[in-house]
Chain A
Amino acid sequence: MSAMNRRDFLRRTGGLIAGSALPLSLIELAFADEQQNFTFAYISDSHIQHIKGKDFVRNWDRGLIRTVGEANLMDPRPDFVMYGGDLAQLGTKAELDHGLELMSALRHDKVHYVMGEHDYYLDLGEYWERQLGPQWYSFDHKGVHFVVLNSVLTYDEWTHNRWSSGEERMAVMAGLDNPSGSPFMVGEKQRDWLRDDLSMIAKTTPVVVFSHSPLQKIFKNWNFWTEDAEQVQVLLKPFDKVTVFYGHVHQIQYNQIGNISFHSAMATAWAWPYPETYAQVDSLLPKLTVEMNRADPFFERDATGWQFVDVWSGNATLHYSLTENQPRTVAFNPKTGRPEDTVYQNDRIPPQQHF
């Protein structure tokens, strides 16, 4: 068709889609009757890595840039953004600053941050805290109580007495399968704070908890693990509806333990294999989880992504936006009382088992 023909055609059919954009306020009005509903974007594990000078690892930069670009297209816009931890790779000022600069391209004003071990173990969260505030805190939004924990603490002896420098400590904690590492934990001080915080909340209030490591035990060698997970779960047990979100694992996982639904966030940086397909010792990968395939290394973003979440009903629906894969949705199924993949749960396609 020539350009002239296309224009003629347009006039005749009247099937015009406006090329010049409508004012955004008009679009938002279309959702005015759903004000009780709300969505938040959930971004995690970007691992921004400094090389030297102004050079950062391109691959990890691109992951976060892509995610911010996608989150900026959400319509209606999310009420806020959660960042699930590991913004930096080795916790340096340069990495945190650069990561926050990339995050500043978000069109959304309010971002809540969770501490990851890669943010923490260089200076025990000092610079992070100066930029972003307390390492654990809570807030309320449209009838839901949100709690953010620092779950990547460990034994004081390990943290303070073993290392000649913060760099050395950080390097050990940054590796998987490092026998010199140490299991993550929330710790007694923070559990006391959580008990106090929750004592002010009605048991019918939906509670949503964010931690970096899973508040359930999956695979210890990779710290897909929180040592005092059960003690935290006990504090959450009295509430009708509880959802725990965590990063760290760089893969889709979900589980139900009693009243608590668990969901993991995808990483923007890279994909980990599922421990079940890799482990030489026991892995407690939740049985509910429908696993993704191993990533195709040609596409650097394969098996990475981010998610946005509806949690207004008290139960979570996670919409995974996967850069090089079909989007997936994991939602609470009221009939079975657990989170399920809305498409693949019952017709599972076996994941790849070869490497």
Chain B
Amino acid sequence: MVRDDPDYQPRFKEVFGVSGDAITIEHVKQAIAAFERTLISGDSPFDRWYFGRDRKAMSEAAIRGFKVYMEQGRCVSCHTIAEDHALFTDNRFNNLNVGFERIAGRLPKLTAAFEKSKRAGGNVDVAVLSNANLSELGRYAVNDQWRSMGAFKTPTLRNVARTAPYMHDGSLKTLKDVVSFYSKGGRVKDKDPINAYQSSGIRPLGLSDKQQADLVAFLEALTSPAYAKSK
């Protein structure tokens, strides 16, 4: 895909001086590594508070939010925190009930057509990147397993206050919206439908307004100073 893409072609030419078939996986790996070096994050108020034991590093609200994060909010089960490091992701895939409604009603036809095209040699990468309906199939498009229907990978939460909009389709604008969405068990509005394939880790949490505000304060404490400065 990279070799043929009109956007990538001049960029690879500029950086590596190669084009067409001369672009190899080594070039792609180097490009990704260079990107990843911009993502290295640490030294956030949370890191200083949790790992550095600096009791003043986080606000009272953020400390209360951490308790919600670990307990009633169930956040930590997917956005993991380990004893000596915190990636804030378990690298698993879940259907949260985001954006799935657009295909839910015609899913049997959509998946049947998708599978038929796949068997005929169709390019999955192209399909999911170019067709908004097929992109909602999520991980299923890759592994053909019903358990992965509409499932997307858990992202890290480092610097999350700086990475709006949220969810795989950018449909939620603020962290407040995101926390409210989870509290309602994967709904924007109370009466929104839940699709049949929603992850069984998602359920209504019943967080109070204060708990939700505290949770947002905690999420805001995950920003690295170096990242904030570079933006």
Which positions in A face B, CB cutoff 8 Å? 1-2, 5-10, 12-13, 15-22, 24, 27, 30, 58-59, 62, 65-66, 68-70, 72-73, 75, 107, 298-302, 321-327
CB pair A324–B130 under 8 Å, yes or no, is no
When distances are taken between beta carbons in the complex, the residues of chain B under 8 Å from A72 are: 107-108
Q: Determine which of B123, B145, B201 lies in contact with A17 in the assembled complex, contact meaning CB atoms within 8 Å.
A: B123
When distances are taken between beta carbons in the complex, the residues of chain A under 8 Å from B149 are: 69-70, 73
Q: A298-B201, A327-B147 are in contact. List 19 more A-B contacts (CB 8 A).
A: A15-B123, A16-B117, A16-B122, A17-B117, A17-B118, A17-B124, A17-B131, A19-B134, A21-B113, A30-B116, A62-B200, A65-B196, A69-B196, A73-B112, A107-B108, A298-B77, A299-B200, A300-B203, A324-B200
CB pair A17–B122 under 8 Å, yes or no, is yes
Q: Mark B105-141, 1 if CB is under 8 A from A, else 0.
A: 0111111111111100011101101111110000000
CB pair B200–A15 under 8 Å, yes or no, is no
Q: Which residue of A lies closest to B118 (CB)?
A: A17
At the interface with chain A, which of B1-9, B38-46, B81-89?
B1-9
B199 on the interface (CB 8 Å rule)?
A: yes
CB pair B197–A69 under 8 Å, yes or no, is yes
CB distance from B97 to the nearest CB of A (A): 12
Q: Which residue of A lies closest to B129 (CB)?
A: A6
> What are 6 A-B pairs with beta-carbon distances under 8 A?
A17-B127, A22-B113, A30-B116, A62-B194, A66-B198, A324-B200
Give Cα A137 to B113, complex, Å: 38
Q: Determine which of B6, B74, B133, B146 lies in contact with A73 in the assembled complex, contact meaning CB atoms within 8 Å.
A: B146
Give Cα A298 to B203, complex, Å: 10
Within 8 A of A (CB), among B197-219: 197-201, 203
Give Cα A245 to B6, complex, Å: 57
When distances are taken between beta carbons in the complex, the residues of chain B under 8 Å from A5 are: 5-7
CB pair A300–B123 under 8 Å, yes or no, is no
CB distance from A25 to the nearest CB of B (A): 11
Given A68-B196, A298-B77, CB of A13 within 8 Å of CB of B123: yes
When distances are taken between beta carbons in the complex, the residues of chain A under 8 Å from B114 are: 17
Give Cα A348 to B151, complex, Å: 29
Given A17-B127, A22-B113, A73-B111, CB of A1 within 8 Å of CB of B5: yes
Give Cα A292 to B1, complex, Å: 40
CB distance from B60 to the nearest CB of A (A): 28
When distances are taken between beta carbons in the complex, the residues of chain B under 8 Å from A66 are: 196-198, 200
